[in-house]
Every structure is written in structure tokens, then in C-alpha cells.
Amino acid sequence: MIPLFLALLGCGSLNEPPDEDSQVEDSRVTPDTEEPDSGTGGTTDTETDTFEPDPSAPTVASCDAWCYRHKIGHKFYEWNIDCTVTDPDGAKNIWNGRWACTSGGCSDQSGLVACTKNTGACNTSFKETQVTPPILCQQASSYTFTIWVSDWDGHESKGYKVTGRQQ
């Protein structure tokens, strides 16, 4: 019983903040910052993003968002988003990204973008029905996608907007 009591004494009070000396700083954690407005509130994005990325952040140079009918095996409509990205520290520093459908009747549809190591090529694909509500291929030109890409240093690019198209 005495060892248990002594162990509890060594834990200190749960209501007291930890000693400053005992805190460990994690260099991978960055403070929350305000993200650019994605304009998901309506069908038309009339707001201008005022977010300016860190000069060390990657830059999305170009993107193409297109859909087509997949005809091999199961037939379905598929979206592809392909981007070219640069980073001041070189292509080796480009990590991954994210996308969001930001106009054209979109609500909360979003996903991840994968970047190929050392190339600056980033892409994603998804079935039109994979998100809810579906992003319909027949209405491709009514959708606007915004893509953000991050680097290994934790910097995020400014959002790049691209209008969908049907192939």
C-alpha cells in the first residue's frame, strides 16, 4: 500500500500546469492559422482569397480537373485532378495536398491529393458517386475545384482554382 501512495505523490497535482522546464517543444507542430476562404457557402464564389502563403511555400503552377466514363470492367464516371507544383526548395520538398469542390452546387466534398516524389506531379481521382452529394460528370463545367499543396517544411500553397471539364 505504501508504494502505491508514494507513486501517487510523485505524479503531482492534475490542476497545476507543468513546469516550464518539463515541456517538450515539437518542431513539427505549427500554430493554427486562418485558412483561405474556400467559398463553399453558395453556388457562386464571389469572395476573393486574401491569404498570402509564406514565400517558402509551394506554388501550384497548373491543374486540370476532368472526368470521363470508365469503360473497362465496371462502368462508372471518374474524376481526375492533375497538378504541376513547384517549391523554392525543389521538387524533393513537395509533400501532399488536398482538394475541395468550391462552387457549382458543392457543399462539403473534399479529398486528398498525392504527390509523386521528386517530380512536382500531384494528382487524385475519385468516382463521381464517391462523394456526397455526387459531383456529376454530366455537369463538369459547373464545378470549380480548389487545390492546396503542402511541403515537408509544413508550408501550404495558395489555393489554385480550376474548372472541371468532361473528356
8 A C-beta contact, residue 162 and residue 141: no
> CATH number of 53-167: 3.40.309.10, 3.40.50.720, 2.60.40.10, 1.10.1660.10?
2.60.40.10
Mean pLDDT of 125-134: 93
Q: What is the model's pLDDT at position 105? A: 79
Q: What is the model's pLDDT at position 129? A: 93
8 A C-beta contact, residue 158 and residue 61: no
Q: Is the pLDDT of residue 79 over 90?
A: yes
Q: What is the mean pLDDT of the chain?
A: 78
Cα angle 57-163-86, degrees, rounded to a multiple of 5:
25
Q: Is the pLDDT of residue 12 over 50?
A: no
DSSP letters along 58-97, please?
-EEEEEEEEEEEE-SSS-EEEEEEEEEEE-TT-GGGEEEE
pLDDT in tens, 90-121: 999 999 999 999 888 788 899 999 999 999 99
Q: Is the pLDDT of residue 147 over 60?
A: yes
Q: What is the model's pLDDT at position 103? A: 87
Q: What is the model's pLDDT at position 3? A: 43
Delimit the domains of the chain by residue range.
Answer: 53-167
Q: What is the model's pLDDT at position 94? A: 98
pLDDT in tens, 50-62: 566 689 999 999 9
pLDDT in tens, 16-55: 333 434 333 333 333 333 444 444 333 334 344 556 668 9
Query: Alpha carbon 42 to chain centroid distance?
Result: 20
Residue 7, SS3 per DSSP = helix
Q: What is the model's pLDDT at position 167? A: 93
8 A C-beta contact, residue 121 and residue 82: yes
